[in-house]
Structure 1
Amino acid sequence: MHLDHDPAAAAAETIGFDEFLKVDIRVGTILRAEPYPEARKPSLKLEIDFGPAIGRKKSSAQIAALYAPDSIVGRQVAAVVNFPPRQIGKFMSEVLTLGFADGEGRVVLFSPDAPVPNGSRLF
């Protein structure tokens, strides 16, 4: 799967609302973050709490260019929680933490602008 980070790229093909609902995007709070120097791109290993229904999940996120591990603990982020786990080097990433590329291609985390309960679903 290729994701286009070009802000000038054309919109993706039209999908139905039912297809959108298949992607389970939830908010969680980062409990732990540590460097992941073995990754090909500057990354952090995250442990995120998605509340009682989803639980704690691990994610490898390419966010080390903009975020220090200690600066994001306690921050809420959005992630896709229903993709199959993916092996990233020696680390098993269980969720896809979401972000947008800035003008230099660095990943900026996507998060709510006010606190919401962990596990809240995007709609």
Structure 2
Amino acid sequence: MIAQSPSEAAVARHWIDGEARPYAPENLPRKDDIGAEGFFAVDLRTGVVTEVEDFPQARKPAWKLAVDFGPIIGTLRTSAQVTNYSREQLLSRTVVGAINLGRKRIAGFTSEFLILGALDPDGTVRLLELPEGVGPGAPIA
């Protein structure tokens, strides 16, 4: 196993901290090469948010999201620390998800995919934006 730097651990565990600024670009070293095969092994797809629920059991502020990834994948659920977005801003929004990373239990809830966004220096997630007309289930390359 390769040891993670504090910066790498921050990305793997995700937290928001305005003082420590764990995701400031000047604090994040470049990661090791994984090759095209490693990248293309991750199934990145577009989906449309269909449900947004409160998640008071989570240790950190989060929403429970249901996202429709189209007719083949269907609807998957995730817990996401994106409370900087309102319920209204999330409903019907097209998002990008990594759908083949496996399931993870979070406070009794099964998260089935990882929603993607850019991280501000303090850890606030800014969801990726897609052009109009991109439908659910489209692969990301």
TM-score of the pair, normalised by structure 2? 0.80
Q: Measure the CA separation in 2 of the matches of 1:115 and 1:80.
A: 20
Q: Measure the CA separation in 2 of the matches of 1:111 and 1:86.
A: 25
Residue 101 of structure 1 is matched in structure 2 by 119
- The partner residue of 1:112 within 117, 123, 130 is 130
Look up the SS of the partner of 2:72 in the other structure.
helix
Residue 17 of structure 2 is matched in structure 1 by none
RMSD across aligned C-alpha pairs, in angstroms? Answer: 1.6
Q: Which runs of 5+ in 2 are unaligned?
A: 1-7, 13-22
Residue 37 of structure 2 is matched in structure 1 by 18
Look up the SS of the partner of 1:48 in the other structure.
strand
Change (3 A) 1:24 1:37: same
Report how far residue 112 of structure 1 moved: 1.2
Residue 76 of structure 1 is matched in structure 2 by 94
Aligned length: 122
Q: Measure the CA separation in 1 of the matches of 2:76 and 2:100.
A: 11
Look up the SS of the partner of 2:126 in the other structure.
strand
Identity across the alignment (%): 34
More strand by share: 1
Q: Measure the CA separation in 2 of the matches of 1:53 and 1:110.
A: 22
Residues 27 and 111 in structure 1, CA contact (< 8 A), matched pair in contact too:
no
Q: Which runs of 5+ in 1 are unaligned?
A: none
More helix by share: 2
Q: Which has the larger radius of gyration?
A: 2
Residues 27 and 120 in structure 1, CA contact (< 8 A), matched pair in contact too:
yes
TM-score of the pair, normalised by structure 1? 0.91
Residue by residue over 1:29-64, the C-alpha shift from the partner in whole angstroms, topping out at 9 and shown as x without a partner, is: 000111212111110000000001111000100101
Report how far residue 15 of structure 1 moved: 1.7
Tell me if 1:37 matches 2:56: yes
Change (3 A) 1:103 1:16: closer
- The partner residue of 1:59 within 54, 75, 78 is 78
Q: Measure the CA separation in 1 of the matches of 2:133 and 2:123.
A: 27
